[in-house]
Amino acid sequence: MNRNGLSMKYKRIDKTGDELSILGYGCMRYPRENGRINFEETKKQIRTAINNGVNYFDTAYMYPQSEEVLGKILSNGYREKVKIATKAHILRIKNIEDMKKVFQTQLKRLQTSYIDYYLLHDITLKDWENFKKMGVLSFLENEKRKGRIKNLGFSFHGNINNFKKILDGYDWDMTLIQYNYIDENYQVGEEGLEYASSKNVGIMIMEPLRGGMLINKLSKESKKLIEDFPIKKSPAEWALRWLWNDERIDVVISGMSSQEDIMENVSIASEVKPNSLNESELELINKLKKNFKDNVAVDCTGCGYCLPCPSGVDIPLSFSYYNDKKIFKRRIYYSVFYLLKTVENRSYASLCVKCGVCEKKCPQNIPIMKELDNVKSNLETWYYKLLYKTFKIVERIR
């Protein structure tokens, strides 16, 4: 128990023997200033999480600066208190030499002699077959025998059939899947969760709040449902409790970016129990699910994997304002702010030349080019561009 009277809960992973905090720390969304990670604030937050019992930290080779920052923060007496999970992406690995180079780079960045959970990231069935042919699997198994990798796993964003084939294709220690109350029947979904559980692998959950959408993109109707419910909890707490209500889930990874996020999530994780939500609480979440799906325009989580766009389009930002416009029914307001954010740095949707690079990288399989056309027709009409120009003229006069 910490000094705040909170006691983090842990689950034993049968396959690995590790006792992991049910709350994991996602290292993709560190606090930033002017596009760069705020190191001192990140250090403060990570150490707050560790001091409050969080012991599972999830990063990746392709998260900008993430591994380096985590390694530096953990190097001063914190490394042995945590389990590090990191990932290698198929886009970085074209042959076995690439794999060796990526792995050595990760050890150096993380300032560690071993990695607790090493994942093949966002792999497809084709990727999996290519990895085996390249000798990547043999290399990772050899590193596991040397003790430089403790456990092997994979993360997945594809369909259930291919997920099962990859899961059946090797004696994995764990898997990382996208799951939340919106995605119960999306990608791997409930069926995949059950299948992974039957294999007795560790099950880690990413995107529990759908990239913040289950907090920041709730409609007025959804907010009212939560406000009027007799049991008072925040939108984040309902989403997290829904996941921790499922005894098959081992670790829920949250991309916490403030001290308040950390302490709220630690507080929830210290008191949840599987199968504890009652019928009325589950019905509330079902209503939130339906309302969300009825209102959202694009299922973008804001992960940023689609970037950089060769034409400079800020794809996540474009979709964010498009969703805001549909959810909150304030077209002029969001059109003007969208243009304020994108015109001066030339990152608006109509710059898209339909090269398709983004769609190959999107883990949600969003038809990005089509949706950018929708952004253009909804937020970039001549009327709103005129409003934008008028706004800028008034701003200069002031």
Write out the DSSP string of 3-25: TTS----EEE-TTT--EEESEEE
pLDDT per position as a tens digit, 295-304? 778 888 778 8
Are 210 and 356 in a shared domain? no
pLDDT per position as a tens digit, 14-55? 999 999 999 999 998 898 888 789 999 999 999 999 999 999
| pTM of the full structure | 0.79
Are 180 and 236 in a shared domain? yes
Q: Does residue 146 lie within any of the structural domains?
A: yes
Please determine, for residue 321, whether its predicted confidence score (pLDDT) is greater than 90. no
Q: Does residue 182 lie within any of the structural domains?
A: yes
- The domain boundary, picked from 294, 329, 352, lies at 294
- Provide the CATH number for the domain around residue 208: 3.20.20.100
How many other CB atoms are there within 10 angstroms of residue 19's CB atom? 11
Give pLDDT, residue 315.
Answer: 92
pLDDT per position as a tens digit, 117-174? 999 998 888 889 999 999 999 999 999 999 999 999 999 987 788 899 999 999 999 9
pLDDT per position as a tens digit, 178-222? 999 988 877 788 999 999 999 999 999 999 998 888 898 888 899
Give pLDDT, residue 77.
Answer: 92
Beta bridge partners of 388: none
Mean pLDDT of 377-395: 65
- The domain boundary, picked from 265, 294, 323, lies at 294
Are 205 and 319 in a shared domain? no
Are 342 and 220 in a shared domain? no
Are 289 and 319 in a shared domain? no
For the chain, what is the domain count? 2
Mean pLDDT of 363-370: 90
Are 259 and 360 in a shared domain? no
CA angle 177, 182, 187 (to 5 degrees): 40
Are 111 and 141 in a shared domain? yes
Q: CA-to-CA distance for 93 and 120, rounded, in angstroms?
A: 11
Helix (H, G, I), strand (E, B) or coil at 335: helix
Q: Does residue 307 lie within any of the structural domains?
A: no
Q: Does residue 358 lie within any of the structural domains?
A: yes
Are 332 and 192 in a shared domain? no
Are 216 and 82 in a shared domain? yes
Characterize the bridge pairing of strands 10-12 and 19-21: antiparallel
Give pLDDT, residue 4.
Answer: 63
Domain that holds residue 383: 315-397
Q: Does residue 193 lie within any of the structural domains?
A: yes
Please determine, for residue 398, whether its predicted confidence score (pLDDT) is greater than 50. no
Are 100 and 222 in a shared domain? yes
Are 272 and 330 in a shared domain? no
Q: Does residue 284 lie within any of the structural domains?
A: yes
Are 249 and 286 in a shared domain? yes
- Collect all residues with Cβ–Cβ distance below 8 Å to 282 and sequence separation of at least 6: none
- The domain boundary, picked from 241, 263, 294, lies at 294
Q: Does residue 4 lie within any of the structural domains?
A: no
Q: Does residue 119 lie within any of the structural domains?
A: yes
